[in-house]
Structure 1
Amino acid sequence: MKSFCLLCWNIQKKSADPRFARAFEELWLRYRFEIAALQEAALPEGGHLPLPFEGFEAAASCNLRLPRRRYGVLTLSKAPMRACHPYLSGVREAGFATRKSALLTHHDIGGEAVALLNLHALNFVPYRLFAQELERLASFLAPLQSDRLVVAGDFNTWSRKRQGVLEEMMGVFDLERVAPSGAGHLKAVLGKPLDHVYVRGLAVVRAEAVPTAVSDHNPIVATFAL
């Protein structure tokens, strides 16, 4: 039986922090994840990856660029990455005037195709714009042909309405939410968890939320069977 492990983590722009490097290495040594879907990654301009990410293929979709740094979602893969498609939200967040980013990547897992959407969803916008952006994201996903799909990230689902419209969209694509053990470690606002993993065409072997002391979010680690 072929399987692979996924790490999903909002790392709060800590890519260059030595404490993050140690935590990331410890997680990799413990779980040997083939793919990492990171949100709020901070990357230096010039194409060089931070030290803990060496040895992975990498693709990023950045929503903010500064003279020496760029920020966004970052997908790392030990398996061959066949293609990547960056995405920026059509709506900007109030007060920040920045868009949010997502990245669709295609991976070869032991000769089998798996697609991953790594997403950091809009936060500081009214519900109407949050729902509107999910509709736009659905149009982005609609042409996808892969039967095996993972959607993972920080969805900013801090209200029942936001979680409800997200579940509706995931249902359209036959995606089911992964229920990790240790869910109490997930970052929550108003009692609602923000980080999720959804899956289609894969069996969940195990999943857990892992406590760390590096970011204000804790990672989800999930193993899937093809």
Structure 2
Amino acid sequence: MKVKWLIWGVFVVTLMMFGGFQLIFTTRATPEVTSIHSGNVATELKCYQSDSAQAIDDAGRLNILVWNIYKQNRENLLSELERLSKGKQLALLQEANLDASFLQWLKESSWSGQQASAFKAFDVSAGVLNLSTHMPSIACANLQVEPWLRLPKSGLYAEYVLSNGTKLITVNLHSVNFTVGTEEYQAQLESFKQVLISHKGALLIAGDFNSWSEERLEVLRGVLKKYHIKEVTFKDDNRKRFITGLPLDHIFYRGMTLLSSSSPPSTASDHNPMMAEFRLD
């Protein structure tokens, strides 16, 4: 009798958890790209495209910010983001929520933005977000479902016009976290391999790679090494680290010269930001 009631109890709890999950989270089979430009917000399926993109760099220099902003859960996030993004042409953010306060900040700023929506929580879109001084010529979303949680992690592929007549390709990635082994982890990284093979110009791959184990870090560096991609290093390295001591966030690049890099501490997120300045080759 007790076993019967225990089974029923587990069933009811599971049903309640599933129901609660469905009430809170909304996911899509086809990824969405939300664009914010000049106060206007528009959502496209899969890709955003423009025929009137302008050069993003500043006379051959490119200043970038890469940061997991922890869903804007800290009160000082927007003021800190304002300070850290000053003088940058590109900011690649992870765990960005397009809630009312963040959208208002974007509308009042000079930034344009594209978000790859991983899911919606209480109808607020969450995922990786690119902020740029000028809109990209193309931005496409990519999703990889977490095997256990069943919530996707997002990636955003974008192309930006450069003043030397070439283009910069960026991949803003939030890697899957809760997996047994590295199969799904590698699959997400390899989903961009055709771009890495074919593009010969400036390239940036950055974000929160959840590289908390030696196996994951080996896969990450192994995949990118095949395409002759370099990793940005930091003298004063304040990047967030797992209990293994391994950093979770990285910036990789190709086709540019690294001039400077920094990873300052910040109380505005559970991750510290990364910044780098490049010169176009």
Task: Determine the structure 1 residue equivalent to 2:79.
Answer: 22
Task: Determine the structure 2 residue equivalent to 1:103.
Answer: 156
CA gap 1:93/1:23 in 2 versus in 1, 3 angstroms: farther
Task: Determine the structure 1 residue equivalent to 2:7.
Answer: none
CA gap 1:20/1:144 in 2 versus in 1, 3 angstroms: farther
Aligned equivalent of 2:264, options 198, 210, 213: 210
Q: How far apart are the structure 2 equivalents of 1:76 and 1:86?
A: 15
> Identical aligned pairs, as a percentage?
27
Q: Is the 8 A contact 2:95 2:126 kept in 1?
A: yes
| CA RMSD, Structure 1 to Structure 2 (Å) | 2.1
Deviation at 1:135, TM superposition (A): 5.4
Deviation at 1:21, TM superposition (A): 1.1
TM-score between the two structures when normalised by the length of structure 1 = 0.88
1:81 partner amino acid:
P
Give runs of aligned pairs for residues 1-226 of structure 1, distance below 5 A: 2-14=60-72, 18-29=75-86, 32-44=87-99, 49-52=103-106, 54-89=109-144, 91-94=145-148, 96-111=149-164, 112-134=166-188, 136-139=190-193, 141-142=195-196, 144-183=198-237, 185-189=238-242, 190-226=244-280
2:218 partner amino acid:
G
Q: How far apart are the structure 2 equivalents of 1:212 and 1:160?
A: 26
Q: How far apart are the structure 1 equivalents of 2:194 and 2:105?
A: 32
Q: How far apart are the structure 2 equivalents of 1:136 and 1:4?
A: 26
TM-score between the two structures when normalised by the length of structure 2 = 0.72
Please tell me whether Structure 1 or Structure 2 has the larger radius of gyration of its CA atoms: 2
Q: Is the 8 A contact 2:114 2:139 kept in 1?
A: yes
Deviation at 1:70, TM superposition (A): 0.8
Q: Which shows bigger deviation, 113-122 or 65-74?
A: 65-74
Q: How far apart are the structure 2 equivalents of 1:116 and 1:85?
A: 11
Q: Is the 8 A contact 2:128 2:155 kept in 1?
A: yes
* Structure 2 runs not aligned, ≥5 long: 1-58
Q: How far apart are the structure 2 equivalents of 1:69 and 1:146?
A: 37
SS of 1:85's equivalent in the other structure is: strand
Q: Is the 8 A contact 1:130 1:162 kept in 2?
A: no
Task: Determine the structure 1 residue equivalent to 2:33.
Answer: none
* Structure 1 runs not aligned, ≥5 long: none
Deviation at 1:172, TM superposition (A): 1.8
Deviations 1:181-223 (A, max 9, x none): 221x100001000000000101000011011101000010000
Q: Could you list the structure 1 runs, at least 4 aligned residues long, displaced by more than 3 angstroms after superposition.
A: 138-144
Q: How far apart are the structure 1 equivalents of 2:270 and 2:177?
A: 16
Q: Is the 8 A contact 2:157 2:171 kept in 1?
A: yes
Q: How far apart are the structure 2 equivalents of 1:181 and 1:126?
A: 33
Aligned pair count? 218
